[in-house]
Structure 1
């Protein structure tokens, strides 16, 4: 049986507790079923730090910050470890919906699983707020009226990192690719942006996911290619292990650069600046970007156990917050009755939060906000804990993501 835990959380509560006693001021919430959110993530595998417990904490922070208790709306959260296995994830999600009354599933952080959950929530007329899986097909040919896509996707990452790196002289690439849906989509998107910018991909190698810990053979292929840039199309502990081994093999000694797509501030923390310095990466959120991102980070820090939020965690906060705003706008009964109607309401409302600022949710389900190109600081440039990034460029919300007309989403009106 897949690992799952139930957490009872009221939007006015001080913490995520199980169970949480109802104060007198919450008695109105007892007259109607709570909104139930399932945080489906990697709690034990290679993406634990980039996803998992901190994503759960950020989802809870959204409910705390919005505080719907005055409207009698209670929020209950469940956490589930999908183990990066689509069959495990689908069985858990189906049980959540059929037996647990779950209304919305968020995070997910695995594209193959996100596709499976998209089919399930469409079948059951529930909602997926995908904040972790990255395949751009989720808002393209495989878009759904019941799924929205937050944070980042393969098109955005390839657009931000690929173009900028070629423009700065990195015009030949070798790609090391996680062999599942995300990696395949990332490879297609990055190859297109590199080639359209005047560069070339000289070769690629796919490694089995999950379960690979030894990247030696793939790094040897990268060295033999003599490419100026080695693109690492992976995440979590895979990314950390591959970069460490690349340094050990001397991959960067002849001027070759490493580009992580995707890569997160949590990965840099695991690597340390001595190893990670000079890496190029894109995130849509950084804790020290502005006053609002710093305020959000201060609020959530007591709940994340020292694992500061990355863009995926921030996306979970933002997506859950906007979902709950739409629930409040529609009312619980209407929101629970139709996930498709709830998603339409989310699309009709402007987004705004401390992680991404003002934004919009497009017709195809794509959340729009700026993306940023960062370079990892050298150890001597860091001023304190988690001070890891130098901002190298900003791509506007209008330019960061694939144009609506090019995605092939059947929801888009011609």
Structure 2
């Protein structure tokens, strides 16, 4: 295991000389961005999440000249033990107040309790498993952007909307895949659909031939990839080569714009997906994408990176108002009233820590529909906030009375 000290880097963002506020050591708020720097989730999060966090810190600096913000970075390599080691050093040695991103559900579940025990804040901006605001909810955790229930609910609506009545799952064999398949299957069945079967593959799989043959043999109307990152890219590419689509409709339960870009429109066209943020959805999304591209030339922000920006900015504002980095107090402040966010609209943080906002279903455009390199989505549906996420009473969170 690589030593955590080799993986953490500090980025001073705003160094201003006004007096420190009470209960904020040295008037400095330290935020750690923890994700995957070179593995399957590097494009979705990676360096771009650090850039997004810095943009949030820059915006906050203009609002709070009496505070400093420092961004740290750690690469967990998709290993829960490595992630836990980095977070422990951040909290014990470096005085980190909040950890954001995480991106891997297994890592997130491992660090959730560590952060709660230290009374700091976990901004689970891009963690899929809905168990984080269910049975494993903590008073110091806010889950931002999406979760498997929201993605499954939106995907089920999209599939039934195009006439699919049965689905076959190709799923990650770890926490994210299990939760994606479980939550999508439940939503799809509630809408009258059936599950024709499923198969699991390990993280790092590149050959999907046997899984796709099983999907074809199932006779299902649709094939759902309950995975993401490079696995999704490889799976969709090979599905096109095997002729799975359009005979069987394809949906990526956890698909982001960088995945579609990597697949290419000729092979990805028609793929159904759901996202919480798309760079070309409205003027505010495009404005953020322009700022992001100035730091990351040739790229647009993913929903992960947008989630880091918005959750970090909301957190910093809550720290300022609460005048403390105590996790319980800051999260309580985030829950106190709706947050007006430029990228996600009105966001409400519920008692279980779930940040609730609208979700969107899209279809990947055909090459002839696209007008530029990153013009890849055609909208299908908007799922309003009150129907986008699991009902509060259904999650089993012990914080919910």
TM-score bracket, normalised by the shorter chain, equals: over 0.9
Counterpart residue number, 1:229: 222
Distance 2:64 2:107 in 1: 36
- Among residues 17, 26, 35, which one is paired with 1:26 in the alignment? 17
Any unmatched runs of 5+ in structure 2? none
Counterpart residue number, 2:12: 9
Counterpart residue number, 2:310: 318
Pairing 1:148-187 to 2, within 5 Å after superposition: 148-187=142-181
Pairing 1:248-287 to 2, within 5 Å after superposition: 248-252=241-245, 255-287=247-279
- Residue 409 of structure 1: how far off its partner (Å): 0.8
Contact 1:68 1:74 (C-alpha < 8 Å) held by counterparts: no
Pairing 1:51-200 to 2, within 5 Å after superposition: 51-68=45-62, 70-200=64-194
- Residue 10 of structure 1: how far off its partner (Å): 2.6
Distance 1:86 1:8 in 2: 24
| Residue-by-residue CA offset, 1:203-237 (whole Å, 9 max, x unaligned) | 1000012x211111111111111211100011111
Distance 1:167 1:386 in 2: 25
TM-score, normalised via structure 2 length: 0.95
TM-score, normalised via structure 1 length: 0.92
User: Across the two proteins, how many residue pairs are aligned to each other?
Assistant: 395
- Residue 257 of structure 1: how far off its partner (Å): 1.1
**1:44 is paired with a residue of what secondary structure?**
coil
Return structure 1 stretches of 4+ with deviation > 6 angstroms: none
Counterpart residue number, 2:391: 403
Contact 1:37 1:103 (C-alpha < 8 Å) held by counterparts: yes
1:359 pairs with 2:355: no
Distance 1:72 1:203 in 2: 57
- Residue 5 of structure 1: how far off its partner (Å): 3.0
Residue range with higher mean Cα deviation, 130-139 or 162-171: 162-171
Distance change (3 Å), C-alpha of 1:196 and 1:63:
same
Distance 1:26 1:238 in 2: 47
Counterpart residue number, 2:286: 294
Distance 1:286 1:33 in 2: 35
Distance 2:105 2:298 in 1: 27
| Residue-by-residue CA offset, 1:181-201 (whole Å, 9 max, x unaligned) | 111111111111111111111
- Residue 70 of structure 1: how far off its partner (Å): 4.6
| Residue-by-residue CA offset, 1:70-129 (whole Å, 9 max, x unaligned) | 532111111111100001100111011111111100000111111111110111111100
- Among residues 368, 392, 396, which one is paired with 2:356 in the alignment? 368
Distance change (3 Å), C-alpha of 1:369 and 1:118:
same
Contact 1:29 1:69 (C-alpha < 8 Å) held by counterparts: no
Distance 1:37 1:45 in 2: 22
Any unmatched runs of 5+ in structure 1? 12-21
